[in-house]
């Protein structure tokens, strides 16, 4: 299984490029809302947290699907030879 080939998938890279900054915003709003006692930042966290969680789950599911597909393709080529 070639991990570099799997990570070149356009959907995985899109989810990484969107998910990581969104996760940073989510965590920053959580801490900022707590430290500054700002209710608006808490609401930003409550909006961004589910989006980040769903994106993370979808990323992991897609990665596993691609890894299994690559592993099956590798075993099929080994059994054919």
3-state secondary structure labels for all residues of the chain: CCHHHHHCCHHHHHHHHHHHHHHHHHHHHHHHHHHCCCHHHHHHHHHHHHHHHHHHHHHHHHHHHHHHHHHHHHHHHHHHC
Q: What pLDDT is stored for residue 42 in this prediction?
A: 92
For residue 81, pLDDT over 70 is answered with: no
Ranges of each domain in the chain: 3-74
What is the mean predicted confidence (pLDDT) over 7-36?
A: 94
Kindly report whether the global pTM for this prediction surpasses the value 0.85: no
């Amino acid at each position: 299984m070639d991990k570099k080939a799997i990570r070149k998938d356009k959907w995985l890279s899109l989810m990484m490029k969107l998910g990581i900054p969104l996760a940073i915003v989510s965590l920053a709003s959580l801490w900022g809302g707590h430290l500054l006692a700002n209710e608006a930042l808490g609401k930003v966290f409550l909006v961004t947290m589910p989006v980040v969680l769903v994106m993370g789950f979808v990323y992991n599911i897609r990665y596993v699907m691609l890894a299994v597909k690559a592993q099956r393709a590798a075993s099929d080529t080994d059994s054919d030879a």
